[in-house]
Structures are given as C-alpha cells and as structure tokens.
Structure 1
Amino acid sequence: MKKRFRSGYFRFVAVTIALSALLAGFLAFSDNGIVAGPEGETGVLERMIVAKGRVTLDVDLSSLTRGSGKRGSGPMVFDSVPDSFFSIAVFNNEFRSSLPGTLEMVPQETFDVPGRLRGSFEKLMIERTGTGSDYELVVRDAEDGYTFFNIEGHEFDYDPASQRLVVKGGRVLLADQFAEDLGLRPEPGKILGGITIEAVMRSVEITQITNGSMTSNKLPAMNDPETGTVPGPDVIVGDIVGLAQFGSASGTQVGLAVGTDSCNAGTVDLNWFANPSNDHPRSSNTPWLGQTIQGRVVRTIG
C-alpha cells in the first residue's frame, strides 16, 4: 500500500491495527442506511478501495486567466495511485455509499496550468469529504490540502461483475480561494468543465450482517505478487482519518485522537471478531511532528 502524508501534520506510524477502526467502519456503514428497518438487513457488506483507476478532468483553462487566454481546454488525464483509499460501501453487490477518503493522482502528461496549480499539478488528489462539508468531492493539493476545484452533480455507477466504479456527470467549479489567488472575481456556481472517475475496486473488509447485527468480519488477503509466498496475514494501515486535538495548544499537554483504515497485505485472510473473542489484532500508535529547521528534519515525539 502506498500513502503520502500531508506535510506539517502530525503523522502516526501504526504497528498494527486499532480495534476501534472496525467499530468506526461499522458505524459509518450504519449511518449510510445499510442497517435499516426494525430488524435490520441480512447480507454481505464490503468496504472497497481503488485498486487502479483513471481520472479525466476536462476544464476550460482559458477561463482561469485574464487577458489573452492562451490556454485551451483539457482534457487532463491522470492515473490513480494504486490502492488509494477512495472508499465505497457495497451491500449484497449493490452500491450503498461513498465513504470519506482520498484518491491521489499522477498526471499522464504536463499542462500549461496557471498560478498555484502549476506547483501542485503532480501532487493532486480528489478528496471525498466528511459530513458537513459544502461539497462531497473536491480537488486538492495532496500535501497541504489547498483546494483548487469543487465538484457537484456527480453520480456513482458500480458494476459488481467487474467491480468497476464510474463517477460520472461531475461539474467542476472554481474554489473561491483559488479564484482570488488568480486575481479573478469568485463566481459561485460557475461551471469550468466536467470530471469523470473510472476505477477498478477491491475489497479490504468483508462483514457478514444478520438482521442488522454483525456476525463475522475479515480482512481479505491482497493476492498481490508483491506480497510474497510466505503464508499468513500482514496487517498494515492504509489511511489515517479523523485526526483531532483536544485541549489548549498553548499548554504543556494536549490530547490527540486518530482513526485508521487498515487492510491485509498478506496471503491469508484475517479474522477480526469483536470482544470477548480475542481473534483480532491489537495495535499501538506513535505520534511525531516533522519540521525542517535550517535544512535539517527535526522529529518531535508527542
């Protein structure tokens, strides 16, 4: 699994998985209506991520400049970073919901893009934001989180036979801050173009639900040639979400909380049963802050 972290944030190295991640994931699925009705539903719930994919961003670049408008329209085509945690929930082979996460992108070719977008063009990501955000999908710098574009009007189309996800019909809007940095007047709702995401998905968590209650849970093996042939599971953290700080930053101590999305990079499926069963992994986390001072990287353990 490959994951780039945003610079300037606390970063966590997880030795194994936190048990709380399972509960958090199950509650997230419940919030999206999978466990519905007085008795709930029965079936198989899958959490899936992007194994590989492609993003087509068709934007009128000339509208981002004042004056001659030398730049024409896209489309700009990107490959996704393998195993990006742009997640969806699938219940009984039916798409139920997208989940908060990110899809990092690698451009297939260079483009003459304006302003700050030029320095961020090779490190862009699409983020599926959390509850309360104005837009479900946004295009950001993967390192500092700067927002370039907002996306609206998109639809999710999932084919269980091929495990193929298509996000289509998305309208691309210019983010207000980016407009101001370009010297343009923000025009809320102005459409710059469209976006399409095509991806092949794979399961990282499979849960059996009976009458609304979870009866079994496992992390399936990746079945990737890079995992080797040694039998056994290999639990890794693929994404870190929900970083929060509690207490005053001006004091001597603060509290930190973080959630993890995990997967199994081994060759054998991994059971993950809730207490009182002990058939699940345990984990610990080590927080650190990386800063560059006079050309040297200083790591502070918190």
Structure 2
Amino acid sequence: MGDLKSQVTPASFADALRQAIERRGVSLEHLRGRLNDLGTPLSVATLSYWRSGRSQPEHQTSLDALASLEEILNLPVGHLRSRLRPSRRPGPRGGRMSLADVMGGDAVRETLVMLGFDPDASEALVETSMQVTVEIDDEGRARSSVSRCVRKATRDDAHATPLILRTDGPGAQIPDFVARKGCSIGKTHMDVGAGVYGVELLLERPLHAGETAITEVEIQLPDDADPDPFFELYLTRRLSEAMLWIHFEEGHVPTHCQAYLDDPRHRDQQVRATMGTTSAHHVARNVGPGTLGIRWDW
C-alpha cells in the first residue's frame, strides 16, 4: 500500500504537467505543434518554464492554451488549471487595477517597489488612450515596440509613472527602454530571473490634477528570446481607446491572426484582428481594465 499522504495531496501545477508529459511520452516540440493546430499557440520556452515551475499561466492567452493542453495530454478538464497557484489578478476595483493586479506575480510588485512606487496605491498618472506598434522579424520574434500614450494627472505634481515589460521567462539579454518624446528614463529595475523589466518614466514637467501629457517610448526587445506567437497590452483602467498594431516582415506573414480581450465588461464580445498585407491590428474603445492581445498562426 502506497504512502497515503502522497496519494491525497494534489501535485503542483509543474509536477502535474511534467507527469502528464512523461506519461504520454511526447516532446515539447510536439506539444507546440498540436497547440498551434488547435489555435492556441505557445512557444517551447513557455512550455519548458511551466514544466520546470519557473512560471505558470497567468495571461488570458496562456489560460486559453491550458484547456487545449489538457485535451492533448488526455487529462480531465481542469486537471492542470486546478493546480495553479493563486493569481494576483483579482477583478476590477472601482474600474481600475494596479499593474501588479493585471500583470500578476510577486516580481512585478517587487519591481514597482524598487522603482519607488506603491503597488497598491492609486497612480498619479493614468493612461486615457494607448497606441502600441510591434515589429516582428523574419524569425517570428518581437524585435521592438513603440507605445504612444495620453496620460492624465490624478493629483497635483504628478511627474512619474512606471513602465513594465513582462516575458514568460528569463533570457540572457535585457530589453532597452528608449524615451523618444515627452519623457525621460529615471530609475530602472531588471529582474532577469523572473523576466520582469521596469523603468520609471519622468515627464518633461510636473502636471496639475486634470492636465494631460503625451509620451512615446520604444522598447528594443532581446534577440535571444524564443518567438512567442502573441503580444499583449496590460490595461490598468478603462481607456477611451487602445490600439495594438503588429507588423510582420514581408514574406513572413502569418496565415491567421486573432485578437482577444480579457475584460469583465466584454466577456461575451467577440473581437477580431483586422488583417492587412503585412500587418494585423485591433482597436478597442471604452476598454479595460484587463488584457488586450493578438495571437497568430504561421
């Protein structure tokens, strides 16, 4: 008779995933291909981080893929999802969420603290609209993103706001944040092990409550990252407009793109990405808090 405790104690998410993969005798590359066929693509690196316990599904695109993964591995519905650690992504409070809420994870909270921001406090500067353009190279890697935001002061002397990039796992290189217009870079905190990178954006001058400023920032992304077939925006509050525009290299354009929206006010709304010749985009109005993303199939 086996150890009763080991039989009744649920395995962690990483343990359950690892055991299921070993039982099926499949490779991560095989899983990547099957997930892609089901329209819920994940990179091999992401699957590897999940299997090792370095990270777990947090974002909507990852949670969507989790159901497909259970199907591929012949697991009961919810077998893997029920073993996820508690998420730090609660529902909206008064129409807003902090960056730590919407992005999830202790590393995000720690990064905010290291940049001089209280993870649980109301922001002095909030986005009212956002436009993000992403460049994807011929190997399917996101090489750079440019974000243009209208920011509004919620109190006098507002002059700084955090900007955080989160990846699915660590890499050997770190991204480069470049303040192009309307702002400069102050403090930085790069948690390579957690894949969380943050900077303090400083406006050209302090704002009075109700004033607005426009900032433009480019993030030059590491070229050693595993190509992820999606890109997401984190919306901490309701925005009048959020636009995500993905540019692909000519000759290396996806066969299909799908927009998705993780917003409690739009649970039943179907959103689509508009395809161009070498790009895909989605514009959402009166959206957030939550996540807006586009994923694609090659």
Indicate the TM-score class for this superposition, using the shorter chain for normalisation: under 0.3
Which protein has the bigger helix share?
2
Give the TM-score taking structure 2 as reference length. Answer: 0.25
Which fold has the larger relative contact order, with Cα–Cα distance below 8 Å and residues 6 or more apart in sequence? 1
Radius of gyration: which is bigger? 1
Which protein has the bigger strand share?
1
Give the TM-score taking structure 1 as reference length. Answer: 0.25
